[in-house]
Structure 1
């Protein structure tokens, strides 16, 4: 392992998976892997060998010293929601505070986990990292793009995963499940192709990048999507096979679908639903460049997470109030 690593957001969906990937099949040496968290997890939920330190991105004073003796920072923390002030406090101001502490501690490199949602409205077809200027359409993605700009200006690197799923997912699959309940049809007949990535595969990539920094040079942006981008219809069929979700055959024009959606209020917004109805797939050469296999595929990964999803999904599934 190249130097000591700090994972910011170590109890979050992606951050906790990154810690598990960094620990791998062995317990890290003392201080080798640290996690910045707001609250130290219970022993049963902590990753063995990881040193947990407390701090809050919205409280710069609490970050003092967290980067001491750290070589690489994996910044996996973000606020997802409709409240722009809260998003700005964590995603923008919090990132600046973290980078100030990293600079003070002479951290060698920072990798920020962002999102392909910063590109805004689709369609996105086989999009490369430099093919389109980002035009974010939500509070979350606007402030995450600002965080990107801050990290890049400081010489860090950015990873943009697409829709992320797996155990711990409270947005993507729960949102699809809710939409299938509210409208038993697929927008645009489910033709949209969607890039996905399993959280455990994304975490392996993050761990690889932490150990081999040459794959993400300073000031660069990289996609992190699995090479196979299924159509929405294929995805729904797969969710039916692995999780038992309904797989409707009917399709609706997008405007008709959104009108039906408004007749059955829920947590998932029309903005979120539209994201699943238009092509959003991305080219991600970083897997091969980093010599990190992208994983066994969506069917296997969804099957592995099936027990968690079945225990989590309810007839009216809560989802985040605003997409990434």
Structure 2
């Protein structure tokens, strides 16, 4: 059963948004897709789906976009180093959409954010209430500002860490880039990382859109598989799938940084995979009433063909393991 009213989905042509759109369509939800520049995939605008054009940086284009909407799923964001664009899209854009939602009487608002708002870590199994956000990048600072607007309006914020699966252009491609560039495992590859499949993340978003809703103050949830995976295991599976040689030896992280002559930005990216970043996600699985369907050890094998096709086509992230989100 779906929530009352139409569900407005932003970012519907992106990585997580595309998976969420499919999950909601399977449930028969009435969808309104807010699209900026990207064309809507063929067949996406089927029965029960409408497409509207708008730009979160242009509040005038958002007028009436929430009319008749019961739920807003805000999955669109800018990830990059442009501070002005980060502020315009992530912070001001989210505030503009929240204002329209409140004006239209929207009951549910869900924002996709990131555990990168916690900063460099290390983080080891902390719950949502045990960590204080300390963002270090322009992107994560602007996404924290977006969170504040949503939480003040009583919405829900989701903080995954690394997301993998079909459409991933950052995590697995970034690990592949690290393997190609480094002859050693940073910190021995022992770092534990929280991951979640895009299919499981999309299911959580769809559950929040269509299941019971708890009115009241805003809430933050980690969305991760219950058990973290070590960088070395991820690298060995990625290397095996893509035919990349993996290191045999490890070096301390500080020495890897020095040998690589890492810039401050490179050091931040390296720290995200070479130090522990794993989070307790039990609250979200209790909230939706089930656990994740997939674990990285099994799911990556099913996704490997997609990643191989991307690698064969020359797909490469702009920086190892993505920007400091």
Same fold, judged at TM 0.5 (above) = yes
Please tell me whether residue 275 in structure 1 is matched to residue 272 in structure 2.
yes
The range that moved more, 65-74 or 214-223, is 214-223
Query: How has the CA–CA distance of structure 1 residues 216 and 114 changed in structure 2, closer, same or farther, with 3 Å as cutoff?
Result: farther
Shift in Å at residue 229 of structure 1?
A: 0.5
Instruction: Judge conservation of contact 1:111–1:159 (CA < 8 Å) in 2.
Output: yes
Shift in Å at residue 319 of structure 1?
A: 2.5
Structure 1 stretches lacking a partner, 5+ long = none
Equivalent residue of 1:51, what SS? strand
* Mapping 1:9-28, distance limit 5 Å: 9-24=11-26, 28=28
| Corresponding residue number in structure 2 for 1:298 | 296
For these two proteins, the number of residue pairs brought into alignment is 317
Q: After TM superposition, which residue ranges in structure 1, 4 or more long, deviate above 2 angstroms?
A: 39-50, 213-218, 240-247, 259-263, 313-323
Shift in Å at residue 217 of structure 1?
A: 5.4
TM-score (normalizing by structure 2): 0.91
Instruction: Judge conservation of contact 1:186–1:233 (CA < 8 Å) in 2.
Output: yes
Shift in Å at residue 316 of structure 1?
A: 8.3
Shift in Å at residue 43 of structure 1?
A: 4.8
| Corresponding residue number in structure 2 for 1:322 | 323
Counterparts of 2:217 and 2:22, CA distance in 1:
25
| Corresponding residue number in structure 2 for 1:44 | 42
Equivalent residue of 1:7, what SS? strand
Counterparts of 2:248 and 2:38, CA distance in 1:
46
| Corresponding residue number in structure 1 for 2:8 | 6
Counterparts of 1:34 and 1:275, CA distance in 2:
35
Shift in Å at residue 290 of structure 1?
A: 1.1
Equivalent residue of 2:229, what SS? coil
| Corresponding residue number in structure 1 for 2:76 | 77
TM-score (normalizing by structure 1): 0.91
Instruction: Judge conservation of contact 2:197–2:294 (CA < 8 Å) in 1.
Output: no
Equivalent residue of 1:56, what SS? coil
Structure 2 stretches lacking a partner, 5+ long = none
Counterparts of 1:12 and 1:316, CA distance in 2:
16
* Mapping 1:1-324, distance limit 5 Å: 1-3=2-4, 4-24=6-26, 28=28, 32-39=30-37, 41-44=39-42, 46=44, 48-49=46-47, 50-214=49-213, 218-262=217-261, 269-285=266-282, 286-313=284-311, 317-319=316-318, 322-324=323-325
Equivalent residue of 1:269, what SS? helix
